[in-house]
Chain A
Amino acid sequence: MNPNVGLTRALFGTSLAFHIIFATMGVGLPLLIALAEILALWRRDPLYRLMARRWAAFFAVFLGASVASGTIVALQLQLLWPAFMRLAGQIIALPFAIEVFAFFIEAVFTAVYLYAGDRIRPGLRIFSALLVAVGAGASALLITDVNAFMNTPTGFTLQDGRLVDVHPWRAMLSPAMPTEITHVLVTAYLAVAFALAAFCAVAWLRGAPGRENDYRRRELSLTMGVATVAGVLTAITGDLSGKFLAAVQPVKFAAAEGLFQTSSAAALNVGGIPVATTGVTRGGIDIPRLLSWLATGRWHGQVQGLFAFPRSDWPPIGVTHPLFDLMVTVGGLALLAAALYWLWRWRSGGPAEARPPRWLLQGLVVMGPIAMSGIEFGWIFAEIGRQPWTVTGVMTTAQAATTTPYAGTLFFPFVGLYLLLAIGTVLAVRTHLRSHPLGVDLGGPSGPAPGDGAGRRAVMGG
């Protein structure tokens, strides 16, 4: 047993947990910026152009910590998991390489959009924003593709511990790939749409009544529109992912659901804690037969329980089931929040400038961090649920970890760095919002100014 494995996981897990927030923002923000730019051109509405500029300023702030933590994760893969990367380099190196170029496209068009947006034609500006979104989305899909390979490795044959008959392109098309990459992409859009809706709701609750309503209403419509579409897609891809797990990674599925006994009338447990020593999931609510239906689409479908597999292949089930429940709960709350918002829109119907009731705005404020934490729950579940493997059936996490004993030494310096970056990002966003109040961007007390230069400083960032 490699004595470094615990600290190596702690350090890399911390890096990922930090990076995921910024990566998600980096994937979702460009899409919303591009949509706002398109609406600005299509409806000839300068308020949408202002919205794009104000969001772009967020994006510029997040970019710093996003690129920094992304570079860290990319290199820590080699530093902390050298044996895994030696294996990955022989089979699944292509997504990493393609990702570099996708990231490059993102970087080029980010520079163009942020620093030259005022010098190029609106069509080219939209094109730039869209390519930032495409580059960021492709990066996320490609890295998730490597994760899908780790879940369901394919494209090679293992002969006496040696790799033979390697097909790098086929390795990219692993069975877990379709469900996993679509789920990751739509949940990123969901989380970012809710995060921006939360910023909007905070400002609307605090802002001067009336004056900002035109802008805020558009902002909330766009973010909640994206959140709703992404929320429905999240539910669909989540359901497909669950069915996939039940069929292909049944241990992970049983660990996610806290199911011990194989059953063709499996109940769905919500909120219980599985205890490995007793083989019972304690507490929570059992909904009869629902798990059979969710896993197989049939009320009498058979679902394999943990006892069908050797104990040594179980992930830490006391953690995986609660994490899975939390993730699904976040998805449910997102759909509920979206439904309440559209219900209010439908019921209020009347004056276009009306501000939503306080309770709805307050709910949306809370949903911002909740939606983001859903991303964390999902990833932590996905990684812990694959234990004890790094590459299922091929390489354990202990085999993958570095033999160099410095992960512990490096833990606190990196935690300190992430704290610094987090505080810096929060302060930079706050400072920016304070020095660019919407009222000023809208053109002072006289109401919205149609001039296209209104948000210039918001994008140029000084």
Chain B
Amino acid sequence: MSSAFDAAGLIWLVIFVYALAGSVDLGATFWRMVFARSGDHEAERIAARYVSPLWEAANVFLVLIAVAMVGFFPGASYAYGTVLLLPASLILILLALRGSFLAFAHAAPNPPRAFWDVGGVTGLLLPAVLVSVLPVSEGGFVGGTDGHLTLQFGALATSPTLYAYLVFGVAASLFISATFLSDYARTAGNDAAYRSYRRHATWTGPLMVIAGVAALFLMPSPGWFHDRLQAQWPWFLVSLVSFALALGALWSPVPGAPTSGRPRWAVVLVGVQLALADIGYGIAHAPYLLYPQVSTVAGFSNQAMFSGLVWVVVIGLCVLVPGFVWLWRLFVLDPRYTRS
């Protein structure tokens, strides 16, 4: 049934978009906190400008992942809903604290710094909790049969693979957001902030790559997944090249400019890097949504729901993409906003 794999690809695409949009959103609040504490007010202002209007839009993608899972793969939704009750509740509480305190901080005339710190701390923790779903999905941490699935917390907590993923998730979020904000600072003509973000992108990037390689290839992982992942090595190799080029773009000399670096190129190359790694990982993972309990074919909904949902998602994306582009022009590209 190829519809099941089309649906899985569509969900994986939504997850990819959230990984990017969410990383920038979550990382930006963390950088804002760090720069507020270190007194780098130029860089703080750049993060603040970005966070305000766009956090709600990023949140939409997270809900879309869950909703698409319900409609395309009700079986997987059942399994994940059952085993992730505790960790997903932690995600929800962190997201709720974050969203509301950011809104309160915007409403108050002189918000206490602690309000922004809630955004910063949750911005650091959330990528870690979110990414921990990946090792769970690869298998080995869910016990029981269809009636009574349980997450084996002990096995998960003592697994080195989990910790490699945690470092990877946090570092990726910080790297993606720092690269993106360096470009945002450049657009706003703020050279001091640009240098701050570039400096942090330069150490978080390699950390992300090392943790990512460790999580995927060096740490113990279930046999089926390990073999399939090895077979996808060309994707990961090209991804690594794209990463190297992105770092190079951040530091490449620009004739006549006060500071070296082409951040716009770096952002595009980071996007390419993540897309390639995402494709490699996705192909390796494709046969199972949750190994071994839910295979992609067995978890699939019915054909009628599939075609209905595809219509909704296609028409929805026709609304969503122009909407996002409009927001982008108003808040990211409009110098009246970015410089004010």
- B102 CB–A CB distance under 8 Å: yes
CB of A424 to closest CB in B, whole Å: 5
- A6 CB–B CB distance under 8 Å: no
Cα of A60 to Cα of B107 in the assembled complex, Å: 7
Cα of A93 to Cα of B69 in the assembled complex, Å: 10
Point out the residues of chain B lying under 8 angstroms from A80, CB to CB.
Answer: 81, 85
* B100 x A65 contact (CB < 8 A): yes
Chain B's closest residue to A94 (CB) is: B308
Q: State whether A71 and B95 are in contact (beta carbons under 8 Å apart), knowing that A108-B57, A116-B330 are contacts in the complex.
A: yes
Q: State whether A424 and B101 are in contact (beta carbons under 8 Å apart), knowing that A85-B81, A100-B63, A168-B308 are contacts in the complex.
A: yes
**Chain A interface size range:** 35 or more
- Contacts of A402-434 to chain B: CB distance below 8 A: 402-404, 406-407, 409-410, 413-414, 417, 420-421, 424-425, 427-429, 431-432
How many residues on the B side are at the interface (Cβ–Cβ under 8 A)?
76
- B57, B82, B107, B323 — most chain A CB neighbours (10 Å): B107
- A104 CB–B CB distance under 8 Å: yes
Point out the residues of chain A lying under 8 angstroms from B336, CB to CB.
Answer: 119
The segment from B71-79, B159-167, B230-238, B282-290 that touches chain A is: B71-79
- B255 CB–A CB distance under 8 Å: no
* A67 x B99 contact (CB < 8 A): yes
- Contacts of B51-107 to chain A: CB distance below 8 A: 52-54, 56-57, 59-60, 62-64, 66-75, 77-86, 88-89, 91-93, 95-104, 106-107
Point out the residues of chain A lying under 8 angstroms from B304, CB to CB.
Answer: 166-168
- A111, A167, A413 — most chain B CB neighbours (10 Å): A111
- B39 CB–A CB distance under 8 Å: no
Q: State whether A107 and B108 are in contact (beta carbons under 8 Å apart), knowing that A63-B103, A96-B71, A112-B327 are contacts in the complex.
A: no
The segment from B132-140, B258-266, B313-321 that touches chain A is: B313-321
Q: State whether A78 and B107 are in contact (beta carbons under 8 Å apart), knowing that A100-B316, A417-B93 are contacts in the complex.
A: no
* A85 x B74 contact (CB < 8 A): yes
- A380 CB–B CB distance under 8 Å: no
* A61 x B148 contact (CB < 8 A): no
CB of B289 to closest CB in A, whole Å: 13
Point out the residues of chain A lying under 8 angstroms from B327, CB to CB.
Answer: 108, 111-112
- A462 CB–B CB distance under 8 Å: yes
Point out the residues of chain A lying under 8 angstroms from B252, CB to CB.
Answer: none
* B323 x A97 contact (CB < 8 A): no
* Chain B interface helix/strand/loop/mixed: helix
Point out the residues of chain B lying under 8 angstroms from A163, CB to CB.
Answer: 302
Chain B's closest residue to A82 (CB) is: B81
- Contacts of A114-169 to chain B: CB distance below 8 A: 114-116, 119, 163, 166-169
* A68 x B100 contact (CB < 8 A): yes
- B79, B82, B84, B100 — most chain A CB neighbours (10 Å): B100
* B82 x A82 contact (CB < 8 A): yes
Chain A's closest residue to B56 (CB) is: A107
- A101 CB–B CB distance under 8 Å: yes
- B331 CB–A CB distance under 8 Å: yes
Q: State whether A461 and B107 are in contact (beta carbons under 8 Å apart), knowing that A67-B99, A89-B71 are contacts in the complex.
A: yes
Binding site for A on B (CB under 8 A): 52-54, 56-57, 59-60, 62-64, 66-75, 77-86, 88-89, 91-93, 95-104, 106-111, 147-150, 301-302, 304-305, 308-309, 312-313, 315-316, 319-320, 323-324, 326-327, 330-331, 334, 336-337
Can you offer 11 A-B residue contacts whose CB atoms are under 8 A?
A61-B103, A68-B97, A74-B66, A94-B312, A100-B64, A115-B331, A119-B337, A403-B148, A406-B86, A414-B93, A462-B110
